[in-house]
Chains A and B, each alone.
Chain A
Amino acid sequence: MMSSIPKWWQTIRIAWSKHTAYRLNFVLQILGPTLVFFFVKYNLWSAVYSTSPETVIKGYTFQEMIQYHVWALVVGLIAQGHMVVNLSEEIRMGRISAYLIYPFNFWEFHTADFLAFQTMQTLIALITIFLIGLSAFLDVPSFQLILTGMTYCLFVSLFWFTLQYMTGLMGFWLEETWMLRVTLRMIAGFLSGAILPLELYPEKLVTFLDYTPFPYLTYYPIKIFTGQFNQFGQAYLVMGLWCLVFIVINKIIWRKGIKMYTAAGM
């Protein structure tokens, strides 16, 4: 176990220089879509609330609604940023062959890569909070709230990583997993509260969603940042269990997939 620490550390260092090799691309890929999405939402809600500034929709004032979406952006940055990495491509193009030969496993390599990515991403999220805090959009919460919120977001990112790893492993069977990943993200975006606050949905749906992992992906993390949620035990338990489930499934899929892997194109 101890002997693998230098392996992980070196992989993380390499991943940092790899991710920053194309600096502009990195920033655009991660920050670009999120920011564009945020401005679409901002303009939309400005229009909705424009008739009278005092309007309250499902308990949200205009200011609160915009804050909700700022936090949705931050949560997305920390928890879902790594989704841009396409694992199935590595399988389909036979690039995993190299990892099958090195005495360092495919999952180890990608988990290290994920960790490296997350540290950079957390930094970007902090800068984002700071910058938006400078503008009037956001009342910057206490340091403690930021810390609790970010810690939980990092935990959620683990959920996304295990799930994304699973869609990646589908590359053993599917030629292209792009549609699968996009569909998954869209559904999750909708049901997790990343697109609209869950209060805006029918009550029955919200009650049902509470039994799924979805609200824990965006809605509750936002509420942690705004200080409106404190059932941490439950939140960590739900995410932790799902991660565990995915890890077990991933192990099974890997074992089955590697048997039929043909290393095409190598």
Chain B
Amino acid sequence: MINARGLSKQFISFKKAPGLSGAVRSFFHPEKIYKDAVKQFDLDIKQGEMIGLLGPNGAGKTTLMKMFTGIIVPSCGELSILGYSPAERQKAFRQKIALVMGQKSQLWWDIPAMDSFLLLQKYYEIPKKDFELRVKEMSELLGVVELLHIHVRRLSLGERMKLELMASLLHSPEVIFLDEPTIGLDLVAQENIREFIREYHRKHNATLILTSHYMADVQALCERLVLIFDGQKVYDGSLGDFENILGHEKSVSLSFSRSQNSSLFSDYSPIWNDEKTQVELRVPECSWNSFGKDAFQIDDLVDFNTEKLPIEKVMKTLMTNPDILRQMRT
């Protein structure tokens, strides 16, 4: 389905010294800067999979997406998607894929979305009946029926994003690349978009590759995670395994109505607040049971929290301590 072997992309840019003299100097003696955006990337994706492609800013996620969609040409390595080589940009290939970019509008700014849709209908050669049915279905599902005939530049970000998503899926693509589709959206809109994507996947069994900085997106949509750091793949596996990447510990916080003895929970590396009424603990999975029993026996206990998004914690830890990733790579 999607197979990448040793995929690499090197960007060449020119160093520019500040000021006029610098500009003149760099004109005659351009100093090249090479940057490896993606290095030796291997990836195999089966049809119908939903993959989350994660990594900090500048890790190479978008570069990968651009190579997958044929927008940029890889420096070296092999890439095959649906049996096509994306860089050749055959029309048959372009008919079967879609790219949704949260940061970039693909709809034409100065015309209503419906006009853009009609243009896409012609470009993708969608039969009229199918087109009408899909527009009706999707616009109802997303609640944008009223917005189809308004100039796109007058819409809010959330409204526009829904229409962008519609535009990308009108031709029933087999492979969908979603580059931060929920960026800048409010929580309800994010939830709507996620639900819509999930529904589309259920119906069409499309292959989906998603990048996002919102772990909720990833958790809701992806079964498999690929983590990219410094242009290299450092993790490729299930969501469940990823949550346990830092060991099988759960983070728990407890609140009490009165100050407690700070020697309490000393086995779970406790971090107390000054008043000794709140504590954060790391509890190994194996002692979960006995810990629970102990904790609930304390009369002063008023609140008990475990983290909602363990994956978010893992991501945050990895990004603030990139050394862990370097060790993982070796």
Asked if A3 and B125 make an inter-chain contact with CB atoms under 8 angstroms apart, the answer reads yes
What A residues does B69 contact at CB under 8 A? 100-101
Given contacts A17-B111, A18-B111, A262-B11, A98 and B106 within 8 Å (CB-CB) = yes
A202 CA to B71 CA, complexed, in Å: 51
Asked if A10 and B118 make an inter-chain contact with CB atoms under 8 angstroms apart, the answer reads yes
Asked if B103 and A17 make an inter-chain contact with CB atoms under 8 angstroms apart, the answer reads no
Asked if A263 and B72 make an inter-chain contact with CB atoms under 8 angstroms apart, the answer reads yes
Q: How far is the CB of A97 from chain B (nearest CB, A)?
A: 5
Contact partner, A18, options B71, B99, B108, Cβ 8 Å: B108
Given contacts A102-B123, A103-B123, A97 and B104 within 8 Å (CB-CB) = yes
* A266, CB-defined interface residue at 8 Å: yes
Q: How far is the CB of A197 from chain B (nearest CB, A)?
A: 39
Contact partner, A101, options B12, B94, B119, B125, Cβ 8 Å: B94
* B201, CB-defined interface residue at 8 Å: no
What A residues does B97 contact at CB under 8 A? 101
Given contacts A3-B125, A101-B97, A266 and B104 within 8 Å (CB-CB) = yes
* B122, CB-defined interface residue at 8 Å: yes
When each residue 60-84 of chain B gets 1 if its CB lies under 8 Å from chain A and 0 otherwise, what string results? 0010001001111100000000000
Asked if A104 and B123 make an inter-chain contact with CB atoms under 8 angstroms apart, the answer reads yes
Asked if A10 and B122 make an inter-chain contact with CB atoms under 8 angstroms apart, the answer reads yes
* B120, CB-defined interface residue at 8 Å: yes
Instruction: Name, among A6, A259, A266, the residue most crowded by chain B CB atoms within 10 Å (CB to CB).
Output: A266
A10 CA to B120 CA, complexed, in Å: 9
Asked if A11 and B119 make an inter-chain contact with CB atoms under 8 angstroms apart, the answer reads yes
Q: How far is the CB of A11 from chain B (nearest CB, A)?
A: 7
* B101, CB-defined interface residue at 8 Å: yes
Chain B interface mostly helix, strand, loop or mixed?
A: mixed
Q: How far is the CB of B292 from chain A (nearest CB, A)?
A: 49
* A240, CB-defined interface residue at 8 Å: no
Asked if A102 and B120 make an inter-chain contact with CB atoms under 8 angstroms apart, the answer reads yes
Asked if B124 and A103 make an inter-chain contact with CB atoms under 8 angstroms apart, the answer reads yes
* A22, CB-defined interface residue at 8 Å: yes
Q: How far is the CB of A144 from chain B (nearest CB, A)?
A: 37
* B280, CB-defined interface residue at 8 Å: no
* A94, CB-defined interface residue at 8 Å: yes
* A40, CB-defined interface residue at 8 Å: no
Q: How far is the CB of B324 from chain A (nearest CB, A)?
A: 30
Contact partner, A14, options B95, B104, B106, B108, Cβ 8 Å: B108
Contact partner, A266, options B11, B94, B103, Cβ 8 Å: B103
A226 CA to B6 CA, complexed, in Å: 66
Asked if B99 and A101 make an inter-chain contact with CB atoms under 8 angstroms apart, the answer reads yes
* B115, CB-defined interface residue at 8 Å: yes
* A36, CB-defined interface residue at 8 Å: no
Asked if A100 and B123 make an inter-chain contact with CB atoms under 8 angstroms apart, the answer reads no
Chain B contact-residue range equals 20 to 34
What A residues does B66 contact at CB under 8 A? 97, 263, 266
Q: How far is the CB of B85 from chain A (nearest CB, A)?
A: 14
Contact partner, B71, options A9, A21, A22, A97, Cβ 8 Å: A97
What B residues does A98 contact at CB under 8 A? 106
Q: How far is the CB of B16 from chain A (nearest CB, A)?
A: 10
Given contacts A263-B72, A266-B101, A18 and B122 within 8 Å (CB-CB) = no
A10 CA to B108 CA, complexed, in Å: 13
* B15, CB-defined interface residue at 8 Å: no
A263 CA to B121 CA, complexed, in Å: 25
With CB as the reference atom, state the residue of chain A lying closest to B153: A21
* B241, CB-defined interface residue at 8 Å: no
* B204, CB-defined interface residue at 8 Å: no
Asked if A22 and B73 make an inter-chain contact with CB atoms under 8 angstroms apart, the answer reads no
Contact partner, B115, options A9, A14, A104, A266, Cβ 8 Å: A14
Q: How far is the CB of B9 from chain A (nearest CB, A)?
A: 9
* A244, CB-defined interface residue at 8 Å: no
* A7, CB-defined interface residue at 8 Å: yes
A10 CA to B57 CA, complexed, in Å: 39
A104 CA to B125 CA, complexed, in Å: 11
* A258, CB-defined interface residue at 8 Å: yes
A101 CA to B116 CA, complexed, in Å: 15
Asked if A14 and B94 make an inter-chain contact with CB atoms under 8 angstroms apart, the answer reads no
Q: How far is the CB of A98 from chain B (nearest CB, A)?
A: 5
With CB as the reference atom, state the residue of chain B lying closest to A11: B119
What A residues does B119 contact at CB under 8 A? 10-11, 14
Asked if A94 and B104 make an inter-chain contact with CB atoms under 8 angstroms apart, the answer reads yes
Asked if A103 and B106 make an inter-chain contact with CB atoms under 8 angstroms apart, the answer reads no
With CB as the reference atom, state the residue of chain B lying closest to A261: B72
What B residues does A22 contact at CB under 8 A? 110
* B149, CB-defined interface residue at 8 Å: no
What A residues does B110 contact at CB under 8 A? 17-18, 21-22
What A residues does B120 contact at CB under 8 A? 102
Assuming A103-B123, A104-B123, A262-B11, what are 20 further A-B pairs, CB within 8 angstroms?
Answer: A3-B125, A7-B122, A7-B123, A10-B119, A14-B108, A17-B115, A18-B110, A21-B151, A94-B104, A97-B71, A100-B69, A100-B71, A101-B99, A102-B123, A102-B124, A103-B124, A263-B72, A265-B104, A266-B62, A266-B71
Query: Contact residues of A with B, CB < 8 Å?
Result: 3, 6-7, 9-11, 14, 17-18, 21-22, 94, 97-98, 100-104, 258-263, 265-266
A-B contact pairs, 9 of them (CB 8 A): A7-B123, A94-B104, A100-B69, A101-B69, A102-B120, A103-B124, A258-B73, A263-B71, A266-B66
Closest 10 CB pairs of A and B: A21-B110, A10-B122, A103-B94, A103-B91, A104-B123, A6-B122, A7-B122, A98-B106, A266-B104, A263-B71
